Structure formats: structure tokens, C-alpha cells
Structure 1
Amino acid sequence: MDYQQALDYLYDFINYETLPMSRDAAHFDLRRMDELMRRLGNPHQAARSVHVAGTKGKGSTAAMMASVLTAAGYTTGLNTSPHLIDLRERIKVDGEFIAEAELVSLVEKLRPEFDTVRRQATYGELTTFEVLTALAFYYFKEKGADFQVMEVGLGGRLDATNIINPEVGVITTIGYDHTEVLGNSLTEIATQKAGIIKPGNVVVLSSQPDEAARAIESVAADREAKLVRVGSDVTWRSLEFDLSGQRFEVQGRLGDYRLSIPLLGDHQLGNAATAVAALEVLMEKGFHITADSIARGLKEVDWPGRFQVIRRNPFIVVDGAHNLESMQRLKATLEQYFGLSAGGRLPVAKSKGGVSHIDRSILIFGASLDKELGGVISELYPLFDKVLVTRSRHPRAAAPETIIGEFARQGVEPMVTADVPAALSLAKSLAGDNGLICVTGSLFVVGEAIEQVEAEGG
């Protein structure tokens, strides 16, 4: 088996990243994972676990925690989804992707058990996400991981990662996403995500809408779990920022920290405070994590595709925002760093870290089929001089015609390009050297933009 054959095998399972989903709980039966883990020797029990759920910021928070644990001297696995370019991004140890040869070897080794569970289908059909989660657990065990930081794929209660009993749970900010599966209210969505709360555990809770907070508090009370609240128990304040990163302070329960991160946007400071709050829980449990390791780990964190400046002259910013809340954050960050606003350019003081002048701003937008576009588009399009609509290669990419229709309803006539490389080429000619191009709407569009710019040499 070569690497491509391994990928083909993995994608041959039921893949809800490419298929429509429903709220049918039969699609998400944890007994499948229990059976698979039993057959593999329960590799998920080999390392201490951190479990991160939420709507926004869970990947960033997970990456921050993993980076700090590595800086503290712990061998640390990080399992996230989806990937931007390379499937191996999902399975990392101490910041390094699983090697192609290692992935092939693991698939060959574990395939008999995967095939047995698939063939028997006692609890429904095995999914690609479940198989990848199992591979991550097994790989972390083989690498002798001390910690495994697991990002929830979807929801929480019935997610394949929810077979662990973590040292600390984290629920980042909750908003409306995957409503076709998780429910149409914040109460329903938050209750699903609160499904990661285990009896008696400590859970760190990022700042939440009141409705979501009440739902999580109810689940925590039922399970006699302790909540640490970011925004009250742990707070933060920004010190300074520029396009290389941010400097800030976190006031924790165990001490105060002066920190920096390379990730941009005020929302990342909230994610960092959440990570610090969770790390303090581990410190209280006796794990050796110092203020210095927190500072070093956060300074070195790598989490691409989230308000990432991938080129200058013109500036190209990529951001995986795809729902209303994340678009609002993107809008605020574009204003903070580049002075973009619906009323024209705002003055941005270079001394505060912003870019003082942008000639033209171009939006490249693509989306997935299941996304509500009206609110997302209305938040963003007024900031830009021109809108280009495109699509990724992903099977669930929305057709440009669908997206154009939504822009038209808001009085905007976008240009259409066949794919992301064509969109970037046109955008660069429109923006000029002193312009700004923002690529957003889907992590898959963002991944292809990063891939294209890297292929061109940055």
C-alpha cells in the first residue's frame, strides 16, 4: 500500500465531511467507537487527555494548549479537523505531522480491525472521522504521548472523540453552526456540546451567550462538574498588536501572565485566556507547567488559515470564517488591522499596529452547501470594493450560482471565477500592489488559497 492507496482506503468509509448530514442519532453511535477501541487495545487510555469543544476558536485553543504542553516537556499529540491542505495536519505530535510512511504503516496494521467493525456494522456504518480518530489515538500511543489534545469534530455528546475521560474539558464560544445536526437554538447546540462534560470533572468555559451558558451550567450541575469561567474567573487585556502578532496580559486564578501570540485578532486573546485557564487546571492537578512554558508555547503556536497574512504587495489575508459569528469577528479584525469599514477607509495608526493605507480591497468568497449565507454576506461585502465568487474542489462546495443569487438579493454584482487560483489571479490584478485581498467563507477555499500562494513562492 502506498500513501495514495491509504488515503483512498480512509475516504472509502462513510464521510460526513462530503455528504449531507441529518439529526438522526443513528449516524453518531458511540458504541461503534467503543467497539473499535476495544479491538485496538483501548489506545485512547494510554495518554492523559484534554478535550476541546465549541463553535468558534476550539481549534485555536487546542493548538495553543498542545504547544504549551510541548514547551513544558510533555510529548503531546494534537488531533484536529478538518485539514486545510494535507490530511496529515489532523494528527500531530509535538507540532510535527504524522509522516506519510507512518500513516501507511498504521493503516496497514489496523485495517483488519477496521474491516471487521465495518463488515459487522453492529452499531451502524463506520465513518472516515471515526477511523481517523482511532488512528490518532493509536499513533499517540505508539509515540509515547504524555498528553493528547482532542478537538471535537461535531457537537460533543455523540462525537467520536467523546470516549475519553479528560483531565480538563474546554467549551469555547458557542454560536449557530451545523444546525441541521445540532439543533436550531443555542440551548440545543450548547446541550450537545456540553455532552463532553464528565461527572466530577473541571470544565473551562469561554465567554458565552447567556442562553448557551445556562444550558451548559445545567449539564454541569447535573454532573457535579466544576466550571471555570473565562471573562470572570480568568480575564485578559490587550497591550499591543501588529501584523507579526499580539502582546497581552492574562489574569489567571493562579497568577498573572505577560504573553504574546503570532495569531491575529482580539478573539484570539480570548482563546489564549481559555487555554491558560485550562492549563492552570492541569497545574492544580500537579502537572509541571510553568509561566515560562506558557509564554514559550503561546509564542510558538502555529494555526494557519485564521486571519493569516500569507502575502504582502498586495496583502492577502485568509480566514476560515463561515458563519455569522465568525464573520463578525473577521469584520472587526479587518477594521482593526486594515481600517476597512462599510463607510470607507478608517484611519489606522501604524503606531498601534495597523496598516495605514489600502488602495483597493477585494473579497474572494466561496462557501459550503449547508451554510446560511444571507447574514454572512451582509456582514462582509460592504467592506470591499469588489467581490469575486469562486468554489473549492471540495464535493460540498456551494455552486457559484447559489452564492451569486444571495449577493444579488443584497444589491451586489460579484464577478465569478472557476476556481481559487483563477480568483487569486484576477484579485491581484484588481488590487494592485497596495491593495488587500481577503479570502474567506470556507476553510476549504482558504486551504486552496494557501496552497496556490505557496506554489507561487509566496
Structure 2
Amino acid sequence: MNYIEAIAYLHSLTDYEKTRIERYTPDTLDLSRVERLLAAVGNPHTCFPALHIAGTKGKGSTAAVSEACLRAAGYRTGLYTSPHLHTFRERIQVAGRKIAREEVVALVEEVRPLIERTPGVTTFEAITAIGFLYFARSGVDVAVVEVGLGGRLDATNVLTPEVSVITSLSLDHTYLLGNTLAEIAYEKAGIIKPGIPAVSAPQRAEAIQVLETVSREREAPLTEVGRDWDYDPGPADLDGQYFTARRVTDGGSDLDGKYWIPLLGRHQLENATSAIAALDVLRRRGFRIPAEAVHKGLRNVHWPGRLEILSREPLVVVDCAHNPYSAQVLRKALAEWFPDRRWVLIFGASADKDIAGMLRALLPISEYTIVTRSDHPRAESPIELADVVASVGGGAEVSVNVRKSIRRGLAVMDPGSGLLVTGSIFLVADAREEWARYTGAPLPDNDGASDTWPGGDAPPCDRGFKMNTYVGREHDVG
């Protein structure tokens, strides 16, 4: 088995990233499957402490910030996120480095017989088991784990973390998680464990009431950004932004202070402050995280595709906004960072999203709209997207792919315009790769590229779990 075959095998399982889940219920997403799979390899998820993150928007950014700060504090970190932008290997990282292709192959070959003895295992469940196995064998000191979908029934919810984090909640996946913010909050609150501290980003009243109720019932101390922690925005430019974060209860925190972060958009300050609040909880539970490490982690965090400027002249911006709320947040951020700018909008989205809601937020700032599709099975067709644009009072040019869309967008831009690509993470990934081709820049590391890595075995887990014969190796991601 080679790397491409290993990835193909994982996607041959029930893959809810490519096909629509019809029911978010225990008989569809059965945690006992992943529990049995993990038990067969010695329960690696019990081999390391974890920070567990759920939410509608910002959970990936919060995970990236948290991991960067923990690594800056000297911890050997694991980072588990989904979906990936360019390569499957982004999903599973140790010490800031993506898992190597050869490691993916070895783990899939090892776990495949166990998967086939566990009927119904999904792609995400298998990847989660492989990720936790890799973390344990790599000897991580702490893992930062992002929920895939929802929370209560997500495969990652086998963890008993050191702290659970709920980022900003809004309406998304409503056909699965519920039609109200309260219903969605209940599903996300499923990661809150009895007696385990939790942190919440600022929430609307309907959502925070649910989180507070669940936390109280489970005797889980809840720290709220906006109540227990607060932040003030500072100066900002195209390189990043300053902000001040402080704990406003319990006499403050050693992590109170002024920070700089390279991520754009004021919404990133919510994510960063939520991460700082979670790190403060870890400090109170015995982790050594000095303020200097948090400053360094925030300065060095890298999370592409989120209000990312690919070019300043001409101005090209990409963002992974994928629901109406995130589109509204994007519009607000664009107005602050690029005042009075008009945009040529390149838009594509997954078919199961509230496309009309996103377009209502974005069309008022767009002087020209091009609809296209990403190279992903769930992408809505450009013809259908054009119909939705028309239904909300706009007009759009149809383009068959991202390559033609970008070239057409550049051709119709006025000197004072910008090119904005948004609607899904898959569209942004295609746009980032196409922009690299267009400008002659190196392509982002992707599943079509070759890997090179130096030798050096990772330390094995010494906390009593099954090693079998596989040995993880560090590698250079370039």
C-alpha cells in the first residue's frame, strides 16, 4: 500500500465529509465504534492530556493558537483538525509538523484489519483513531483536538480532556444539529465532561444559557469570555493586530497583557482570548505556561485561508466563510481592514449550506460576482449558484472552475477593487493553489507533492499502551 492507496482506503469507508449525513443520532454516529477501535490498539487517547474544542466558527483558529502557545511553552504538542486545506497530513501534526506519508501508510495498514472487524466505522472515526494512536506513539505532552461535527456524538468525544472549549456558535448543519441556536448549543455542549473545566467564547443569550445549564448540571466550572475574561482591540494593519486580554475575575491572571497576532479580523480576538482563557485553566491545573510563551505563540501562529491576503497588488483575499454568520463577520472585517473597497466576488459553496444567507451578506459589497465550484464532491454546481444569486436580487457570471474564475476576476477588476474568494474551505484551497500557479510561487504542500524528511525516531509512549511494531518519525514539512 502506498500513500494514495492509504488515503483512498480511508475514503472508501462511510465518508460524511463527502456525502450528506441524514441523521445526527447515536445509531448513525455511534461512539462505541471508535471506542472499540481504540481499545483494540490499547486506548491511546488515554495516553495524553488534551484540550478539546467545539464550535460553529473559530474552533480551528482557536486550536491553532492554543497549540502554538503550548509548543512555545516547551510542550511536545499534538494538533488534530479537520477538514484539511491542502493535504490530509495537516489533520494530524506533532510539534508543529505534519504526519509523514510513510507514517500514514504504516498506521492505515496496521489499523485496517481492526476497522474491518468493526462494522460501520466511518472515515472520520478511522482518522480519529489513527490520529490518537500517532499522538500517543509520538509521546506528545498534550494534544489540541478539534471536533469534527457537533460535539455530543463526534468521534473525538471519547476524550476526557483537561479543558473543553466552545467557540462562537451560530446556525450551521441545522438539518442535523437543530434549527435553533439552543439545539445547536446543546450538541456542542456534549463535549463538556463532569467536573472538567470548560471555556466559552462570547455567545448569544440563547446559546450561553444552554452552556451554563449543562455546565451546572455536570458540575463543570465554566469560564466565559465576556464575563470572566475580556479583551480590547488595539491598532491593526495588513500584517496583524494588537489587543489586550485580561481576566476580570479572581484577581486577574499572569496571562493578562497586550498581545499581537498575525490573524486579521476582530473576530480572531475572540478566538485568541478564548485560547488564552483555556491556557489559564491549564496553568491552574499544573501546566507551566509563562506569559512569554503565550506572546510567542500568538506572534507565530499560522492558520491560512482565514481572511488571508494572497496579494496586495492586485488585492486578492481568501476566506473560508461557510455560513451566513461567518459571511457577515467577513463583511464586517473587510469594511474595517479595507474601507470603501468594492469587491469582485468569486463564490462557491457546498450544496448543503445556506447559500442564499451567505449571498445576502456578500452581494452588497460586490461590484461583480462570479460563481464557480471547488473540486469537491459536495460542491454546488455553478448553474445552481447563479440561480440562488438571482433569487436574492443579484446577477452572476458562471465559471466552470477556479482557474478560469480567478483569471476572469482579475480581468474585470477596476483599479480600486479587490478580488475576494469565499464560500467554503474547499474553494479557498483550490484558489490558494491556483494563485501559486498563476504567480509562479511554490505550490502549498499537498497530496500531489513528494515528501522528504530527515531521520530520527519519535519517543515512544511509556504510559502502558500497546506499541505493536510501528515507530513514528519526525519529518520536515519545508
Task: Provide the residue aligned with 1:170 in structure 2.
Answer: 165
Shift of 1:21: 1.1
Shift of 1:18: 0.7
Rounded to whole Å, the distance in 2 between the matches of 1:362 and 1:423 is 10
Task: Provide the residue aligned with 2:253 in structure 1.
Answer: 254
Task: Provide the residue aligned with 2:282 in structure 1.
Answer: 282
1:233-269 C-alpha deviation (Å, 9 max, x unpaired) = 1111111111111111101241322111110000000
Task: Provide the residue aligned with 1:316 in structure 2.
Answer: 316
Distance of aligned partners of 1:32 and 1:226 in 2 relative to their CA distance in 1, 3 Å threshold? same
1:73-119 C-alpha deviation (Å, 9 max, x unpaired) = 000000001111111111111221111111112112222212222xx
Q: 1:207 aligns with which of 202, 205, 211?
A: 202
Q: 2:386 aligns with which of 394, 401, 404?
A: 404
Rounded to whole Å, the distance in 2 between the matches of 1:433 and 1:128 is 46
Task: Provide the residue aligned with 2:239 in structure 1.
Answer: 244
Secondary structure of 2:157's counterpart equals coil
Rounded to whole Å, the distance in 2 between the matches of 1:95 and 1:363 is 33
Look up the equivalent residue of 1:160 and give its one-letter code.
Answer: A
Shift of 1:404: 0.9
Rounded to whole Å, the distance in 1 between the matches of 2:190 and 2:102 is 36
Q: 1:121-270 maps to which residues of 2 (within 5 A)?
A: 121=119, 125-252=120-247, 253-255=252-254, 256-270=256-270
Secondary structure of 1:66's counterpart equals helix
1:261-319 C-alpha deviation (Å, 9 max, x unpaired) = 11000000010000000000001111100000000011111111110111222111111
Rounded to whole Å, the distance in 1 between the matches of 2:67 and 2:152 is 23
Look up the equivalent residue of 1:261 and give its one-letter code.
Answer: I
Count the aligned residue pairs. 434
Q: Does 1:449 align with 2:444?
A: no
1:405-435 C-alpha deviation (Å, 9 max, x unpaired) = 1111222111111011110111111125653
Q: 1:364 aligns with which of 346, 352, 370?
A: 346
Task: Provide the residue aligned with 2:399 in structure 1.
Answer: 417
Is the CA contact (8 Å cut-off) linking 1:197 and 1:203 kept in structure 2?
yes
Secondary structure of 2:364's counterpart equals helix
Distance of aligned partners of 1:140 and 1:433 in 2 relative to their CA distance in 1, 3 Å threshold? farther
Secondary structure of 2:361's counterpart equals helix
Q: Give TM-score scaled by structure 1 length.
A: 0.93
Rounded to whole Å, the distance in 2 between the matches of 1:103 and 1:9 is 11
Secondary structure of 1:148's counterpart equals strand
Is the CA contact (8 Å cut-off) linking 1:173 and 1:206 kept in structure 2?
yes
Is the CA contact (8 Å cut-off) linking 1:36 and 1:113 kept in structure 2?
yes
Look up the equivalent residue of 1:66 and give its one-letter code.
Answer: E
Is the CA contact (8 Å cut-off) linking 2:24 and 2:177 kept in structure 1?
no
Task: Provide the residue aligned with 1:374 in structure 2.
Answer: 356
- Output the aligned Cα RMSD: 1.2
Shift of 1:381: 0.6
1:119-144 C-alpha deviation (Å, 9 max, x unpaired) = xx2xxx11100111111101111111
Task: Provide the residue aligned with 2:476 in structure 1.
Answer: none
Task: Provide the residue aligned with 1:330 in structure 2.
Answer: 330
Shift of 1:455: 2.5
Distance of aligned partners of 1:22 and 1:235 in 2 relative to their CA distance in 1, 3 Å threshold? same
Shift of 1:334: 0.7
Task: Provide the residue aligned with 1:349 in structure 2.
Answer: none
Q: 1:52-63 maps to which residues of 2 (within 5 A)?
A: 52-63=53-64
Shift of 1:36: 0.6
Secondary structure of 1:376's counterpart equals helix
Shift of 1:361: 2.1
Rounded to whole Å, the distance in 1 between the matches of 2:263 and 2:375 is 27
Task: Provide the residue aligned with 2:408 in structure 1.
Answer: 426
Is the CA contact (8 Å cut-off) linking 1:313 and 1:433 kept in structure 2?
no
Is the CA contact (8 Å cut-off) linking 1:313 and 1:432 kept in structure 2?
no
Rounded to whole Å, the distance in 2 between the matches of 1:433 and 1:115 is 58
Rounded to whole Å, the distance in 2 between the matches of 1:426 and 1:401 is 17
**What are the ranges of 5 or more consecutive residues in structure 2 without an aligned counterpart?**
442-478
Identify which range, 107-116 or 130-139, moves more after superposition: 107-116
Shift of 1:186: 0.9
